Structure 1
């Protein structure tokens, strides 16, 4: 009986220790997010603008956090500066430069509102033009991308209320990704195609409803 009590106390003690370890680890992770050095990012970006090279680009990419940062209230000046000098990133992304695309993916994690939306739209446009590079970036950053559909299927304001054009563009992205022949990207490619196919199917069903084709509706339902 005494032995049983001792074992129970040991188990309770171990559970308490485990809880404390998890709690402290969580607090450390949170602190790391909250202590992000925005001033350092500002300096790196300025250096990148004035000394554009592979080294300055990788240096910028290195400092951008892979995880979400919580203290955006301290980021306003830096974020404003980046988006006031955004052309260099936009040009690099449109040219299919992998490091630039990775920079944009990580910037998307530390921005919100219109800025995050703009990056998502820009990255979406790259899919059909540079599908393999897009998948390479997606593979590198997948663990830290939330709402993959908002990245793959974000078409921008010019497609609002234009369901036929939406579907055409989504299908264009789907077909471009499907043509990528790279075994190392097979899993992320399959995931991207699945997300796009769901959105395309949803649009096609909506088109049927818009046209009110009863025969097709019966088949869908």
Structure 2
């Protein structure tokens, strides 16, 4: 595969959408075709699963049901969107991927972590991102940002302790895979975060510019 696969992880409200917007523009400035997608979602099947997973009325959903739904949406996304785009040499930017499953369902829900890697591998065919950016933020700050914009979805309605476990999970994952995962504080300005992301991508795309007009 000749494309570049980049994922964004982190707390809800950390600014992933903003950074995806800015990085998309940076790649387009050098004539690179960019495919943007998200998890769960990105396909007709995935978006239907997303509705189930995030619907606040689904509060009785079990952790096992939850993880299988995430993996089903992921398998379809990889097959239908990510793999074909990478084979064409395109850049794929994805809002969340396998690290979120380990952080949310492993550290957050308490599912056995040893079983999560095989499920992720099954859904992805062993595919890994070339680079992952973990936008780290105090979960309380992130949730407050979201509440100021819109209502909370099913996962966002979990208590603060749950979100703190998720954050600890992300940081633990990043420490174990620090060649792929770059931790960037989301407390700074959007421009500062974007600059840190672009600098980190120089080895993959040496001519990638800053999106100074974003």
Q: Same fold (TM over 0.5)?
A: no
TM value normalised by structure 2:
0.30
Q: Which has the higher contact order (CA 8 A, sep 6+)?
A: 2
Larger Rg: 1
Question: Would you tell me which structure has more helix in proportion to its own residues?
Answer: 1
